[in-house]
Structure 1
Amino acid sequence: MKGTPMAPAKITLSDVVQLLAEHEETAARTLSLVPSENAMSGLAKLPMLLDPYHRYFFNETDDPDRWHFRGAQSLRDIETDVAIPLLERLGRADYVSVRPLSGLNAMTLALATLGGDPGSTVVTVGPGNGGHYATPSVAQRLGQRVEFLRGPDPHSLDLDHAAELLRRVRPALVYVDQSHCLFPIDVAALVRVVREASPETLVHVDASHWMGLVLAGVFPNPLDAGADSFGGSTHKTFPGPQKALILTRDADIEKRIRETQDYLVSSHHFGATLSLGMALLEFQEFGPAYARAVVGHTRSFAGLLAGRGLTVCAADRGYTAGHQLWLDTERDGIAPGLASDRLYAAGLKVNFMAGLPGFTGQGMRIGLNEAAYQGLTEEDLPELADVFAAAVRDERPAAGLADRVAALRGARTPLGAALPEAAALLDRSLALAGRALGAHAS
């Protein structure tokens, strides 16, 4: 027998706005060290508050007979003449799709397009080497068989095994994905093995975690390394909206992606696409310096934490090549969940989980990508490391540590907000936001 329906929660719109206000106040005093998150400027967020957020856009070719949805007609150029050309230039690609909604949506689109018909084989990175948890499940739900690349340690692949596997199964696609990743897979070396062992096999690289480092030219471009395509999300090392993209130099792959995406993506969230275009305009100004700071900050922070007695993984390899660090707080006698709670109370948000390669239990995954975007410098890192280590060990009152984190945040300006053009556009942006909120600002 069904129970009596619960009474509606007595939460009003005013309560919700108050919760949002409290969250914003807290967010301005804290730092996210979650490697799969980033921030972006208020200016780049603006389109998601305005009318374009509600509109469809399907007429990329500007065909006069194809304006079946006209709401975005006056803004099409921001996608077609700003976002896409910038991505083609920064991504060194001839074709770009900005239609995927997320990294997982881009993964599904790539597997559905390039992974072959049901019964075909897809080879991807095994979980022990950092492969994304969802890749095999998505491929299998598309009717594809899955085989795994593996390696002698969590950070490298056995290319002899890869060659044997490829000769044996002749996959339609090698899908290179690293969700847990301290060091990038050598795509050029893997592509050489694929071309020799199974020449008809395509190679797609999911660069979600590396996207900002690739677009800034700090990490190798997968297309230059010989991959047929690459893609991923735009909110990890790239400081943009929660969206994704796919890039290629191959006209046939572009055609296949375009034909498939119409059945996997309807609305591609036009407001977020405009935000992506604005984030790219900003990124072309600060991207290379920011990406170098991400890598430099992360490596420096690893050494600082190790110097304060915390166990940072891969010390023998220099800890990391990118934006992720893995901490084994269990070896330091502190459960990762408890360490995360203590850090949260001190104003530092981190990511702990099971499944990190090489861990038997849970580990902590952190990144300095958002901290770099928020403007923190090398000079700030010893203070951040002091707070971090003290919080993990519960050596200082959390409130005092949180005040120190807030001071770090307050002393720096986010990179997007620091651009001269952003300051000049503040009044116009506030007026637009006021109108969107019903304030009828002039």
Structure 2
Amino acid sequence: MDVLAALQRRPSLNLFPIENRLSPRAAAALASDAVNRYPYSETPVAVYGDVTGLKDVYDYCVDLTKEFYGARHAFVPFLSGLHTMHTVLTAVAPPGGRVMVLAPDDGGHYATVTICEGFGYEVDYLPFDRQRLEIDHAALAARTAERPVDVIYLDASTALRFPDARALRAAAPGAILCLDASHLLGLLPAAPQTLVLDGGFDSISGSTHKTLPGPQKGLLVTNSDSLAEKMAARIPFTASSSHSATVGSLAITLEELMPHRVEYAQQIIANARRLAGELAGLGFDVAGEEFGHTDTHQVWVHPPEGNTPHEWGRLLTRTDIRTTTVVLPSSRSSGLRLGTQELTRWGMKENDMARVAELLARLLLRHEDSGKVAADVADLARAFPGVAYAGASAAVTAG
């Protein structure tokens, strides 16, 4: 097998809500000598020497992360979203503590309950309003007044609405509030109701390769001095290596995106709303009509009678359209979960979403030949070879 050939990008349309495209500079960092190096560090009994200045890169990445999210503290040693989740939970939840999370049927991450139970925590589910597709704050307030909770770990991986940080704080005033924003990190600059670190979330964390177009990694920000101390004390026992190349790649991503972060987030959301509207107009059953279909990067499509989500997923894959099918809170059954963050990173705008929706309709509703649709998919993908929102230039050609 030619492994290097298999690793190269091929023309395809990426509607995964869990992926994005690195800039050329950020991708180059992953192939640098730092991929196998540790930064300089000292303990009372040891010195880990480094002659290349990697610690400066770490410090720079931390500073950029704090600036990007307006936070007083930031941590970037995590290797993934799950790695971050493990570290956060074990840092802030007391032994045997009560932790509330989203049920998987309500959009919660599939792994959270198993991880919490594995650490010996008592797990309860956050009340969820299935009509509005968001947390039921009144029900939560009643439940926590009756029985307090130690930690709320809000882990939405399938979400059309932004969480309201202040409403959540008011509903659970005594709890530590941790937002797993893996899907939302790149959108938070355009979500002032969620990016609240004083009077809202005690921590915001998550993976850095979804709406945030960085490497596969994790980060955490907080304004809480006490929580920052707990994280600093815990990290040496969960992250023996932060993988220096990914730290550099994340720093480059944040540096390039910094001047465009609000515009980029707003465009992702605008594209998602336009894609949802176009799909609905073509005959697809799209969730969330009551509030404009979506407030985030995600679009949910329910399959019609006679079509299983797996059949749709396989057909889309054969046509070089990358998608996911998962359980949707709007129906509590499997459907298409689409995302517009990578298309936006390519440089697509609202009008381009009509072309994307038409390709999906030709394939899934009109049952056109997948080979013909795939050829048009490739043509559309080739028209957007670079990355937008990367530094001073409007677009940069990707290698």
Residue deviations 1:119-154 (CA, integer Å, cap 9, x gap)? 111122233322222112111111111111112316
TM-score, normalised with respect to structure 1: 0.84
Partner of 2:238: 264
Are 1:218 and 1:292, in contact at CA under 8 Å, matched by a contact in 2? Answer: no
Q: Contact between 2:165 and 2:195, CA under 8 Å: does it hold in 1?
A: no
Give 3-state SS (helix, strand or coil) of 2:304's partner: helix
CA contact (8 A) 2:387 2:395 kept: no
Q: TM-score, normalised by structure 2?
A: 0.92
Give, in angstroms, the shift of residue 400 of structure 1.
2.4
| Alpha-carbon distance in 2 for matches of 1:418, 1:398 | 38
User: 188, 191, 206: which is aligned to 1:214?
Assistant: 188
What is the CA–CA distance in structure 1 between the aligned matches of 2:362 and 2:51, rounded to whole Å? 51
Q: Deviations over 1:162-195 (max 9, x none)?
A: 1232233322211112111011222210101212
2:237 is the alignment partner of 1:250 = no
Q: Does 1:104 align with 2:91?
A: no
Cα distance in structure 2, aligned partners of 1:212 and 1:219: 15
- Please name the residue that 1:186 is paired with: 164
Q: Could you tell me the percent identity over the aligned residues?
A: 28
> Which one has a larger percent strand, Structure 1 or Structure 2?
2
The AA in structure 2 aligned to 1:152 is D
Q: Within 1, Cα distance between the matches of 2:296 and 2:218? A: 20
Cα distance change of structure 1 residues 189 and 268 upon mapping to structure 2, 3 Å threshold: same
Cα displacement (A) at 1:419:
4.9
1:416 deviates by 5.5
Taking structure 1 as reference, are residues 305 and 121 closer, same or farther at Cα in structure 2, changes over 3 Å only? same
The residue that corresponds to 1:342 in the other structure is 315
Aligned position for 1:436? none
Q: The residue matched to 1:221 in structure 2 has which SS?
A: coil
Matches within 5 A, 1:126-275: 126-153=103-130, 155-195=133-173, 199=174, 201-215=175-189, 220-224=194-198, 226-275=200-249
Aligned residue for 2:370?
Answer: 398
State yes or no: 1:288 paired with 2:262. Answer: yes
Alignment of structure 1 residues 391-430 onto 2, 5 Å: 391-393=363-365, 395-412=367-384, 413-415=386-388, 419-420=392-393
Q: 1:277-426 counterparts in 2 under 5 A?
A: 277-331=251-305, 333-353=306-326, 355-393=327-365, 395-412=367-384, 413-415=386-388, 419-420=392-393
**Distance (whole Å) between structure 1 residues aligned to residue 282 and residue 22 of structure 2:** 31
- Quote the offset at 1:367 in angstroms: 0.6
C-alpha distance in 2 between matches for 1:49 and 1:274: 11
Deviations, residues 327-380 of structure 1 (Å, cap 9, x unaligned) = 11134x422222222222332111012x32143432111011111001112222
Select between 395-404 and 342-351 the one with higher mean Cα deviation.
Answer: 395-404
Q: Distance between the aligned counterparts of 2:290 and 2:189, measured in 1? A: 28
- Residues matched between the structures, number: 397
Q: Which runs of 4+ in 1 moved over 3 A?
A: 63-67, 215-220, 416-424
Structure 1 counterpart of 2:20:
38
Query: Aligned-pair RMSD on alpha carbons?
Result: 2.4
Shift in CA distance, 220/361, structure 1 to aligned 2, threshold 3 Å = closer
CA contact (8 A) 2:198 2:223 kept: no
Question: 1:52·1:72 contact (CA, 8 Å) conserved in 2?
Answer: no
Inter-partner Cα distance in structure 2 for 1:295 and 1:206: 19
CA 1:204 to 1:19, structure 2 compared with 1: closer, same or farther past 3 Å?
closer
More helix by share: 1
Structure 1 residue runs of 5 or longer lacking an equivalent are 1-10, 431-442
Equivalent positions of 1:9-24 (< 5 A) are 11=1, 15-20=2-7, 23-24=8-9
1:76 matched residue in structure 2 = 55
Match of 2:129, SS state, is coil
Paired residue type of 1:78: V
> CA, structure 1 residues 407+67, in 2 after alignment: closer, same or farther (shift >3 Å)?
farther
Name 1:434's counterpart in structure 2.
none
Deviations 1:372-405 (A, max 9, x none): 0011122222111111111113532223222222
Q: Are residues 73 and 145 of structure 1, via their aligned partners in 2, closer, same or farther at CA, if it must alter by over 3 Å?
A: farther
Counterparts of 1:77 and 1:171 in 2: how far apart (Å)?
40
More divergent stretch after superposition (153-162 vs 381-390): 153-162
